[in-house]
Amino acid sequence: MSLREQFSPRLQALLARDEWLVAEEEYDPAQNLAYESRFCLANGYMGSRAVHEEGFVKNTLPACYVHGVFDRSEAFQRELCNTPDWAKLKIYQEREPLSPESGRIAEYLRVLDLKNGLVAKRYLHTDSRGRRTRVESVKLLSRAMPHCALLRVWLTPLNADALFEIEDIVDATVTNFMDFPRFRVKHLQVEKIECLGAEGCYVETKTRDRDLPVGTGSFTRVLNEKGVPVQRNRAFRPYGEIACEFMDVRAEQGETICIEKFSAVYTGRDGKPLKPALAQALAELSHHGFEAAVQAHVEKQAALWSLADVQLTGDEKMQKALRFDLFHLLGAASFTDDRVGIGAKLLHGEEYGGHSFWDTELFLHPFFDYVFPQVGRNLANYRYHLLDAARRNARRNSHQGAQFPWESADTGEEECPQWTIEPDGSCYRCHVAEYEHHVTAAVAYSAVQYYRITQDQDFWERQGLELLAETARFWASRLQYDAADGAYHIRQVTGPDEWHEPVDDNAYTNRLAHWNLVTAAGYLAECRAARPEVYARLRQKIRLKAEEPEEWKRRAASLYLGASQGLIEQFQGYFALADGEITQWDQNKMPLLPETLRLVPKQQRCILKQADVVMMLFLLGQEFDPETQRLNFDYYEKRTLHRSSLSPGVHCIMGIRTGESARAYEYLERSAYVDLDDNQGNTREGIHAASAAITWQSVVLGYGGMGLGKDGLLEFAPQLPDRWEKLQFSLQYRGRVLRVCITQNELSLMQEGGVTPVAYRCNGTVRQAILS
């Protein structure tokens, strides 16, 4: 029986075909936290971990994160706050809780429907008195009404009449790091616990540092099979920081009752009085009804998928994993708000505090720039809005220009903690923010890529050039001149491989700094010639001295870059470290540390945490000949442990580019299955945003061989793995929707509804799009 067919007809009607369903076929409390991340729903405004609404589950981290709601209080840094939990709906049968962990359960099945953006569940519950109840539910965060969430739970008593007691709950007792006493922080102070109106629950809280209000409300009713409300004894019964509305309902043996819960969230960032806005949203939902609301949501999801979907014919497992990755990326992307970034764990977990890293620029951006340029622009603007903070950060560190923080939240201040505490209580001094500077080049790099892909002149002239100039200024001041060799150097720096910290002249950082300086000078010269008024405005705004761009070029020309051919040393002294090659892999094909290096401290051995020189080749490959790329890929591959999920996707693309397709596919698996297989062991903390996005890059830019030529022409040099019959994907390219279809022998590019032929280059030959 298919997964879908295991649900009742009422749920089958809401569910997509099996190829879109990710299933949890057995309830294992030990796996619950990982599933809370995997099945987390998000709609671009907020994200809600997939908690069992019934509660009474021990291993759980209920959480709702709303974009832009940060607070510090006792935490080491500003964190994305866990806001009140609206997802709870406790059910009892005469005081006995009905949940997956109370009583006995059978026939358990929960699915995440990637296509329709909902989570559906069913199980058979038997309580201590032998009463059996069929439980089914469906939950979604509306794409059509982004402040709202919908939940329906159906209960069918199977062997006796039942009296169900129900608690509709909005729980403000939540904290961040609920299961981690050393880090636990309550970021929101409760202001109001009250009835929403005549009925329903309302909780108002505010962040403790900056008084940002957050309103969370819900409304619940119980319907019989004819859709008539049948709840009784409704009473608002708050306790402590919990808003709770009690109701009960009788159900005859074999009769199905439906509990319907609508929830909504508004914050002070939405610019509306919270409670009235929320009450109105819930009233609208009630008025239109569940079915209409689901339909509106599903239509929005379909519109997103019509652009985002990548079809892989001939590789079912990879197909589902890729859709899983894209689903979660889309959930965290804001199409409307350019003051929020995307955290390293999306809106799905607390690790990394909801902070933006270089992950956004180099891993996430390309997917959005090509497929949803509006989101690409929002993300670029997020950095632009924080430029002043980056300027302050540079000053604080005695540099010039703008230095973007290693970890960024809502203020643009450095949010990477200086200290962290280990589980045993010992303090650990964290030097990352002090030395890891390459994020600043990543911001510049992705602004340029966004512009090259989209030709968004408005962004470029208003924000892009300024970002580029200020980041170049940073590097110009960060370089240190050494009279001994007459060259500039970057000393005391950490590259992407954080296990060697700090080092001198990290090849990745030096090359990216070089690129930043030269590219900024080049684009400014171009602007000066072509758009003198834009150039003059920029010069005045940032007080750019006439000679500055020339000075950037001069410094770049004398910057120590290491080898340009042959084996590239990751940093000065790397080749002298204790050497050894990886020869063993675990059950997920993840590499294991060579035995011989086990006792050698990280800093003193050649083993890398993640792609570093290979990352540089990935971004700046055009600066190196193919043999150099192959040689370095081969060398560093044998020394990279991929302990950051960012790394395998980069190796996949570089594997393809250097002709190692079979090995590349293994990296694609490691990247695509990070959270489905939990191959980094921390899926419980949230979904790995960067690996999800580089999986798209691996498929489209790697196997599809797509990119932009120097002349701005879209290029394709496809190399599909043998098992793929067909690869299909879409782009929103410079105002046109393009549909790309690649088989083992052919590439076709269709422009939707277009009349202008699209020129592109495929495997070296310039072609024109077939018009639809």
Catalytic residues: 498
The smaller minimum CB distance to ligand BGC, of residues 282 and 653, is found at 653
Cα distance between residue 335 and residue 689, in whole Å: 17
Please identify, using beta-carbon distances, which residue of 204 and 359 lies nearer to ligand BGC.
359
CB 71 within 8 A of CB 148: no
Strand 480-482 relative to strand 427-429, pairing: unpaired
Site string for ligand BGC, 395-424 (x = CB under 6 A): ------------------------------
* Shorter beta-carbon distance to ligand BGC: residue 644 or 751: 644
Applying CB under 6 A, does 498 fall inside the site for ligand BGC? Answer: yes
Q: How far is the CB of 345 from ligand BGC (least distance, A)?
A: 8
CB of 697 to ligand BGC, least distance (A): 15
Q: In 5-131, at which residue ranges do the beta strands (DSSP E only) sit?
A: 21-24, 41-42, 46-48, 64-66, 70-71, 79-80, 85-93, 96-97, 104-113, 118-126
CB of 643 to ligand BGC, least distance (A): 7
Going by C-alpha positions, the residue among 367, 204, 357, 344 that lies closest to residue 274 is 204
Tell me: does residue 646 bind ligand BGC (CB under 6 A). yes
Query: With respect to ligand BGC, which residue has the nearer C-beta, 379 or 469?
Result: 379
Closer to ligand BGC at the Cβ: 456 or 497?
497
Nearest to 223 by CA among 48, 508, 527, 10: 10
Do the Cβ atoms of 747 and 762 come closer than 8 Å? yes
Number of residues that bind ligand BGC (CB under 6 A): 12
In the complex, the smallest distance separating the C-beta of residue 322 from ligand BGC, rounded to whole angstroms, is: 20
242-251/232-236 β-pairing: antiparallel
Closest alpha carbon to 147 in 242, 280, 31, 1: 280
CA angle 444/448/452 to nearest 5° reads 170
Min dist. Cβ of residue 646 to ligand BGC (A): 5
Subset of 438-477 contacting ligand BGC (CB under 6 A) = none
Q: With contact defined as beta carbons under 8 Å apart, do 750 and 768 qualify?
A: no
Q: How far is the CB of 644 from ligand BGC (least distance, A)?
A: 4
CA distance 102 to 124: 12
For residue 647, the minimal CB distance to ligand BGC (Å) is: 8
For the residues of 686-727, what is the DSSP string, one character each? ---HHHHHHHHHIIIIIIS-EEE-TTS-EEE-----TT-SEE
How far apart, in Å, do the first and last CA atoms of the chain sit?
39
Q: How far apart are CB 350 and ligand BGC at their closest, in Å?
A: 13
- Per CB under 6 A, 760 contacts ligand BGC: no
Closer of 290 and 352 to ligand BGC (Cβ): 352
Query: Do 20 and 323 contact (CB within 8 A), yes or no?
Result: yes
Judged by beta carbon, residue 463 or residue 610, the one nearer ligand BGC is: 610
618 binds ligand BGC (CB under 6 A): no
- Name the residue among 67, 685, 35 with its Cα closest to residue 352: 685
Q: Which is nearer to ligand BGC, 357 or 488 (CB)?
A: 357
Instruction: Verify binding: residue 93, ligand BGC, rule CB under 6 A.
Output: no
Give the CA angle between residues 164, 169, 173 to the nearest 5°. Answer: 140
Q: Give the count of beta carbons closer than 10 Å to the beta carbon of residue 696.
A: 27
Q: In the complex, what is the shortest distance from the CB of residue 583 to ligand BGC, in angstroms, rounded to a whole number?
A: 24
Rounded to whole angstroms, the Cα distance separating 571 from 506 reads: 4
Closer to ligand BGC by CB, 357 or 636: give it.
Answer: 357
Residue closest to 382 by CA, chosen among 305, 329, 450: 450
CB nearer ligand BGC, residue 429 or residue 710: 429
Site for ligand BGC in 326-385 (CB under 6 A): 344, 352, 357-359
Q: Which of 610, 629, 698, 751 binds ligand BGC (CB under 6 A)?
A: 610
Of 308, 461, 303, 463, the closest CA to residue 379 belongs to 463
In the 3-class helix/strand/coil scheme, how is 548-591 assigned residue by residue?
Answer: HHHHHHHHHHCECCCCCCCCCCCCCCHHHCECCCCCCECCCCCE
Host H or E run for residue 536? helix 532-542
Residue 369 or 497: which CB sits closer to ligand BGC?
Answer: 497
Rounded CA gap, 772 and 757, in Å?
Answer: 10
Q: Which of 84, 217, 496, 655 binds ligand BGC (CB under 6 A)?
A: 496
Q: What is the DSSP string of 599-635?
A: TS-GGGBS-BSS-SHHHHHHHHGGGS-HHHHHHHHHH
Non-local (6+) Cβ contacts of 272 within 8 A are 266
Task: Look at residues 67, 135, 576, 676 and name the one whose alpha carbon lies nearest to residue 356.
Answer: 67
Work out whether 644 is an interface residue with ligand BGC (CB under 6 A): yes
Q: Are strands 257-267 and 213-223 parallel, antiparallel or unpaired?
A: antiparallel
List, in sequence order, every residue forming a beta bridge with 482; answer none if it has no partner.
487
412/464 with CB nearer ligand BGC? 412
Give the x-and-dash track for 681-700 against ligand BGC (CB under 6 A). Answer: ---------x----------
Least distance CB 691 / ligand BGC (angstroms): 9
C-alpha span between 414 and 422 (Å, rounded): 21
Shortest distance (Å) from residue 690 CB to ligand BGC = 5
Least separation in angstroms between residue 481's CB and ligand BGC is 29
Three-class SS state of 33: helix
Does 742 bind ligand BGC (CB under 6 A)? Our answer is no
Footprint on this chain of ligand BGC (rule: CB under 6 A): 344, 352, 357-359, 496, 498, 609-610, 644, 646, 690
